[in-house]
Amino acid sequence: MLDLELDLEADLGIDTVKQAELFAAVREHYGIPRREDLRLAEYNTLNKVIRFVVDALQGQTAATNAPTQAMPPAAEPESVSTVAPAHAVAAHLAQPAAVTTQTLPKSLAPTLSHAGITGSVVISGTGLGLPGLNRHVFQEDNVETILNGTVLIETLPEELRQKILERRIVRVMKSESGAQMVPIEDLEQTIKLAGQRGQFDPAAEFGIPQNLVESTDISTQLAMAAGIEALRDAGIPLMMTYKTTSTGGKLPNRWMLPPALADETGVIFSSAFPGYAQLSDEAERFYTHQRLASQLDELRSLQTLTAGDTALGKALAERIAALGAELEALDYHFDRRFIFRILSMGHSQFAEYIGCLLYTSPSPRDS
């Protein structure tokens, strides 16, 4: 016999998805109205679930102020005159798989990953992004692509290899006499093959607001997309929420988790170097602006020492005009969203977006 004080998830392997399904089935079976303020965390044992049913049925009895009618036809032990005995409710709850498969849509019915597996971790859904220049990062056949052993490493274009060469990278050359630090000075010494990001538009493909996309780096954008894919794979659809206008109307707000799961879902975002690309880009744009501005000031100072009609004067004027155009095109201003782009905040940004709990992000060494 099951101990009624066993924890549904930790001891019985019933995760929050199954718990939400279980409550829906129990409410339907006993005719209990839906409660918007229901928190699954408050009913984490069989005894507490039984007490929920008993209290709900007693409340219905008090509201009608009349003798309780017989419950709808059910198995013999569950027929009651006032409220269901604890052992009858427990018998019903002891078979969550049978309940959920009969009452839930096929897309939310228990799968192998949702089975009653005991243990501390159960993977119920995954999101997988893959490289490939001529494909979408989150393509529908990604799992099959991995299982089929498809090679997604491609030749780097010469333009990208030239940028690598310009970085003046120093590599270790090992020989029998020892190791030497040798700078890369030729295009042939750069890497020639690598995985490269394909088509990825977080706003168009995943509905992430454009202002949020612009406030995050590519690591966070990919992680958020993978999180949405994992929720979908686990059978947890995001639902549209609405905000009330001053006139009492309703306007679409954003996609969020179902209320019953919001307080039971958390995010852990783990990445070794998130934001570094944005940090490097911001530094490069700043120093480019400083370099152009400094050159422009120097040339203008020289221009005052030369006659405008000379060949040197004309050359200086042309160069000053070219530098001015470059500076104007760069149009550098420090972006106030810089701090959001470089900090490891993917977990909090995604948690806020889907409306769930926030777990502390692991350090890089825990990735």
pLDDT digits (tens, 9 = 90+) for 101-130: 333 344 333 444 444 444 556 677 888 999
Cβ atoms of 38 and 260 closer than 8 Å: yes
Q: In sequence order, what are the residues at sequence separation of 6 or more whose Cβ sits closer than 8 angstroms to the Cβ of residue 66?
A: none
How many other C-beta atoms can be found within 10 angstroms of the C-beta atom of residue 53?
24
Residues 251 and 233 in one domain: yes
Picking from 238, 241, 262, the residue whose alpha carbon sits closest to that of residue 250 is 241
Within this chain, do residues 304 and 334 fall inside the same structural domain, yes or no? yes
Mean pLDDT (whole number) for 238-250: 86
Task: For residue 136, give the DSSP letter.
Answer: B
The answer to whether 24 and 30 have CB atoms below 8 angstroms apart is no
Q: 361 and 217, same structural domain?
A: yes
Structural domain boundaries, residue 334: 276-339
pLDDT in tens, 35-53: 777 787 788 888 888 888 8
pLDDT at 133: 92
- What 8-state DSSP symbol labels residue 70? P
pTM, to two decimals:
0.53
Q: What is the pLDDT of residue 354?
A: 82
What is the C-alpha radius of gyration for the chain, rounded to an integer number of angstroms? 31
**Is 8 inside any structural domain?**
no
* Phi/psi of residue 317, nearest 5 degrees: -65, -45
Q: CA 298 → CA 317, 320, 322, 325, distances in Å? A: 12, 10, 14, 16
pLDDT tens-place string over residues 11-20? 777 877 778 8
> 208 and 352: one domain?
yes
Distances (CA, A) of 350 to 104, 166, 322: 28, 36, 44
pLDDT higher at 339 or 314: 314
In a domain, 125, yes or no: no
Domain count, the chain: 4
Say if 173 falls within a structural domain: yes
Reference 30, options 7, 3, 54; nearest CA is 54
Tell me, yes or no, whether 189 and 206 share the same domain: no
Indicate whether 238 and 291 sit together in one domain: no
pLDDT tens by residue, 271-304? 656 677 778 888 888 999 999 999 999 998 888 8
